[in-house]
């Protein structure tokens, strides 16, 4: 009993959590964050509200820092481009503890227009320039527009993420709520993600050695490469999508290259894909993409080569197209498809320049 009293006194005399001498710090107010990132390598972020128009800034972390979210993080309302959370550094571990959530309360911005107009909406979670890092167990709820932007990173593993934008389905208010946008990155692994959203589950615009495995995608536009073209980096080389279910979505597998643009898409492999309740296309590969409205005329500036699609099974809605391939002449080659079994919908009559061994 006496021991317990002494222990209590000892603990309460300990320095304040964010004092410079401390290496382990708890942040419960945004004001404490800058000092914590300067002084601490083990940062715990509890429940707090990030003021409107401010970023939860984790870009100045010391190498080797672990940041653990333990509570509910909310964000004030402002029409701006964000991001709401920004993470950077080397050997960084970002962890979402069980029950923690970053809640965008996106309904305050949703107006059916996404990034195409209406209210200016903040992007949510930027992971830019990370090296040799991990992001684990984070839950994003109701993102105003895109969820994770992964750009300029090398050797990043993103596991056990939940993006829950189900509320955005009401009256189709949520739009352009891509779960993972990946660009200009090397060696990114995304595993075990659970996504409910209204746009691409994955969209790789550029990069190398990207793996997306053991994921569940619902409500969106499919697991996508692209759109490719029209940016500063337009090379996609090495994307593997494995063991992933895509349900209640516009498309299953999708590769879209921009009309008139240049670049390349190569070494792409989809395998072990299950489709269910697909509304538009089971597999869609198009070289005529333009935001909002494909042109219908494929162009050859972004060739799609060395594409393997195997063990894809499932169903699409009766009004949906099972497989749609629109390639420019000579711009799709060395494709290898096997055990592709998609049923329930219509066959496309509009396929063009389909490579040998592949059927629409
Ligand atoms: C496939 O993915 C699911 C999650 O969607 C996971 O539970 C399962 O273990 C994975 N299977 C393999 C063989 O990796
Ligand atoms: C065809 O693609 C495969 C990978 O799918 C690759 O290993 C092979 O080198 C490619 N062949 C040519 C001729 O480019």
Check if the beta carbon of residue 100 is closer than 8 Å to that of residue 127.
no
Interval 196-246: pLDDT, tens:
999 999 999 999 999 999 999 999 999 999 999 999 999 999 999 999 999
What is the SS3 assignment for 278? Answer: strand
How far apart are the C-alpha atoms of 318 and 344, rounded to whole Å? 5
Check if the beta carbon of residue 67 is closer than 8 Å to that of residue 41.
no
pLDDT at 23 (0 to 100): 64
What integer best gives the mean pLDDT of the chain?
94
Model pTM?
0.93
pLDDT at 194 (0 to 100): 99
Question: The CATH number of the domain where 166 resides is what?
Answer: 2.160.20.10
Confidence of residue 292 (pLDDT cuts 50, 70, 90): confident
Kindly state whether residue 272 falls inside one of the protein's structural domains: yes
- Ligand 2: distance of its center to the CA of 303 in Å? 14
Kindly state whether residue 72 falls inside one of the protein's structural domains: yes
175 is catalytic: no
Q: What are the angstrom distances between the C-alpha of 3 and each of 11, 13, 14, 175, 318?
A: 12, 16, 17, 59, 72
Kindly state whether residue 32 falls inside one of the protein's structural domains: no
Interval 244-279: pLDDT, tens:
999 999 999 999 999 999 999 999 999 999 999 999
Interval 154-187: pLDDT, tens:
999 999 999 999 999 999 999 999 999 999 999 9
Kindly state whether residue 5 falls inside one of the protein's structural domains: no
Kindly state whether residue 17 falls inside one of the protein's structural domains: no
Q: Which domain holds residue 322?
A: 46-343
Q: What are phi and psi of 241, to 5 degrees?
A: -120, 120
Check if the beta carbon of residue 151 is closer than 8 Å to that of residue 184.
yes
Q: Measured from the CB, is residue 333 less than 6 Å from ligand 2?
A: no
Kindly state whether residue 77 falls inside one of the protein's structural domains: yes
The one catalytic residue in 121, 123, 141, 221 is: 221
DSSP tally for the chain: helices H, then strands E: 2, 29
- Ligand 2: distance of its center to the CA of 202 in Å? 24
Kindly state whether residue 317 falls inside one of the protein's structural domains: yes
Kindly state whether residue 89 falls inside one of the protein's structural domains: yes
Give the count of domains, the chain. 1
Q: Which of 161, 243, 247, 272 to mutate to test the pocket of ligand 1 (most atoms within 8 A of CB)?
A: 243
């Amino acid at each position: 009993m006496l021991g317990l009293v002494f222990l209590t006194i000892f603990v309460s005399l300990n320095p304040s959590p964010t004092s410079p001498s401390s290496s382990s710090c708890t942040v419960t107010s945004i004001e404490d964050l800058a000092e914590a990132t300067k002084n601490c390598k083990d940062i715990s972020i509890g429940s707090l509200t990030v003021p409107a128009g401010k970023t939860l800034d984790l870009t100045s972390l010391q190498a080797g820092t672990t940041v653990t979210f333990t509570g509910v993080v909310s964000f004030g309302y402002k029409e701006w481009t964000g991001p709401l959370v920004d993470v950077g550094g080397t050997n960084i571990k970002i962890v979402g503890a069980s029950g923690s959530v970053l809640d965008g309360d996106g309904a305050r911005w949703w107006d059916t227009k996404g990034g195409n107009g209406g209210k200016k909406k903040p992007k949510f979670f930027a992971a830019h320039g990370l090296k040799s890092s991990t992001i684990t167990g984070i839950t994003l709820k109701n993102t105003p527009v895109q969820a994770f932007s992964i750009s300029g990173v090398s050797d990043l593993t993103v596991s056990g993420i939940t993006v829950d934008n189900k509320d955005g389905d009401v009256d189709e208010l949520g739009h352009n709520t891509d779960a993972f946008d990946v660009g200009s990155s090397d060696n990114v692994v995304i595993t075990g993600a659970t996504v409910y959203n209204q746009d691409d589950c994955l969209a790789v615009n550029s990069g190398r050695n990207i793996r997306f495995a053991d994921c569940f995608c619902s409500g969106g536009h499919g697991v996508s490469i692209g759109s490719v073209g029209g940016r500063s980096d337009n090379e996609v080389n090495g994307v593997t999508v494995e063991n992933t279910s895509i349900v209640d979505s516009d498309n299953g597998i999708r590769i879209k290259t921009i009309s008139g643009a240049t670049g390349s898409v190569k070494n792409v492999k989809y395998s072990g894909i299950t489709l269910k309740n697909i509304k538009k296309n089971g597999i869609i590969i198009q070289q005529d993409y333009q935001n909002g409205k494909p042109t219908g005329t494929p162009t050859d500036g972004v060739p799609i080569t060395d594409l393997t699609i195997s063990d894809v099974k499932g169903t699409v809605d009766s009004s949906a197209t099972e497989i749609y391939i629109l390639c420019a002449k000579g711009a799709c080659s060395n494709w290898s498809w096997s055990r592709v079994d998609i049923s329930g919908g219509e066959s496309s009559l509009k396929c063009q320049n389909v490579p040998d061994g592949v059927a629409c």
